[in-house]
Chain A
């Protein structure tokens, strides 16, 4: 462990490190605590134009609801606006995006990393070029054919597009993981009588598992947070959380309900909390196994 190296740390350095970490935590986490706290207030408090202290004291919340905290935002978002439907849609989209992109990604990256041909390199480069394309251009181009083929508005179409957009990243990341695994490993498996696929399934994949988990987490985050694709390609009833939140904000001509949006944002972060808690170890050990290489 690193502890053997750092044991002789001087006190001033320790202090400096602690101060730095505390400072970083403050910057990183403060907006979230602020939002969480504010989601139980009324708009005039949380977005107070008089004094931001109102967001802490909740004067107007008290005046309107008789208490310093109110669940009105949550009630509005979840009950009045059926936010739960969006949650289910997001869950479906994320599940399928992660599964599909990992399946294609592991098989593709394995093949690429074991292929000595130059075209494999160019395939990787092309994937990268594709990733360089701004997603909004892509989506605008997809619209017309999707409408013509009757594919627009469906969750499955969105899953395919998100997988396509995400695949280059998945491919690059998994490819660098596979490169770390010595070829001798699958060769020895094949000597033992395994087919190519069996070698992959029973020998390589278990070694790769942490790397796959990490890559999966990144694809999950992409699908979970995407706005450009989901806002344009999903019909109203299939909307996922992020476009749903955006729709709470109102239009040029009409007012939205900002506190619904804030409450929905907090609700949308909660699952991520558990996810990161749960996968935190895997992220780190996963990346360690592969030590992603450019």
Chain B
């Protein structure tokens, strides 16, 4: 280590309590530029990193919906435009595939950081990302409606079907179930959930060959089709925003929703009266007698670009470690996400995600070719739901579309 830097670090360590040292976060020089998704939790992290700017250290953050399209080109150049990418378990994959992010082990050994070992996300024994929050889709239900219908909260999709029947028969609601089945990413994600719930594996052991056109795939599609009978008939066009709005208007009694969207559902702002108070976040559902919940777990974390100078990498690491420090936790920040940071006190909004973790749900797979299958599913599944094709034919189409794409990308 260069002696000047060492000196600064020691000095910074000694003065950790004083405000002036905090402003620099122990960074002596370098540029930090962050790319990531745009939502309150990530904005908090971004702001935490930007607070390290000053004294010749520049910290910028570009938090945008378009991050998935920008991160690969943005980290490819040498030196790369972005030094930090905030990713989830799906969006880290393209960066890994192209070798655009660096292992963090050296930086951790050198600078440490106030996070626990569970937050380290390792691939092949190397720490590639530090996670800070978790997310999952899980069941949300209306206590009052289920009481009026005289049914217990469902724990399986079969019970959801039965409950929806009762709610309909009693005339409480016309379309009691809601989930984001919009063509594209959304419906593919619901298929993934259901397929995992039936115990499926997306790919044949040790290869990139798809493995979905089987009994589990057909069962998953049939279960989804039965659910659509209890959904708004426009379900192929309804995404999370619309489903959420239906919930707030009181038109849905059971719904599959993201944990990160639970906060606004519970605080009642923008909801019709009496809905927020009766909204219960529950564990995810199982299906077909399986024990693994039909959902996936997600994390968000930061990664550091490979094609940048070591100085910038150290600056980036220190800025990000500062941003995820347990000291950021307060009542407002705690509400923004299900944090994996020490010192986070679970809020009511996190109940569903914790229930999902405890139920042993599987994480969304970090596999190089998973996203290709996801895209193929999103494009081909609507044919089955609009009644044009059988389940087997649709799944065969998905596999064919996937194989074409995988050949182009060199996976097959």
Contacts and interface: CB of A to CB of B under 8 A. Distances in A.
A and B touch in the complex (CB under 8 A): yes
Contacts of B258: 252-254
Contacts of A143: 69-70, 73-74
Nearest to B272: A44
Contacts of B70: 143, 232
A246 interface: yes
Contacts of B248: 44
B245 A147 contact: no
A236 B135 contact: no
A49 B37 CA distance: 30
B40 A254 contact: yes
B39 A235 contact: no
Nearest to A257: B270
B81 A48 contact: no
B336 to A, nearest CB: 9
A83 to B, nearest CB: 15
B64 interface: yes
Interface in B323-354: none
B66 A231 contact: yes
Given A47-B245, A255-B244, A256-B241, A232 B69 contact: yes
A50 B246 CA distance: 10
B30 to A, nearest CB: 17
A75 interface: no
Contact of B251 (A43, A49, A231, A253): A49
Given A247-B65, A252-B258, A253-B260, A147 B270 contact: no
Interface residues of B, number: 39
A253 B70 CA distance: 19
Given A236-B64, A255-B241, A150 B272 contact: no
Contacts of B240: 250, 252-253
B128 to A, nearest CB: 22
B65 A147 contact: no
A6 B248 CA distance: 57
Contacts of A250: 240-241
Given A42-B270, A43-B245, A247-B38, A255 B261 contact: yes
B24 interface: no
Interface of B: 37-40, 61-66, 69-70, 73-74, 76-78, 80-81, 135, 180, 185-186, 239-241, 244-246, 248-249, 251, 258, 260-261, 264, 270-272
19 contacts: A50-B249, A143-B69, A147-B81, A148-B77, A150-B81, A152-B74, A153-B81, A232-B70, A250-B240, A251-B37, A251-B38, A252-B185, A252-B240, A252-B258, A253-B135, A253-B260, A254-B40, A254-B260, A255-B264
Given A44-B249, A147-B80, A153-B62, 12 more contacts: A42-B270, A44-B248, A44-B270, A143-B74, A144-B77, A147-B74, A232-B69, A236-B61, A247-B38, A247-B65, A251-B65, A253-B135
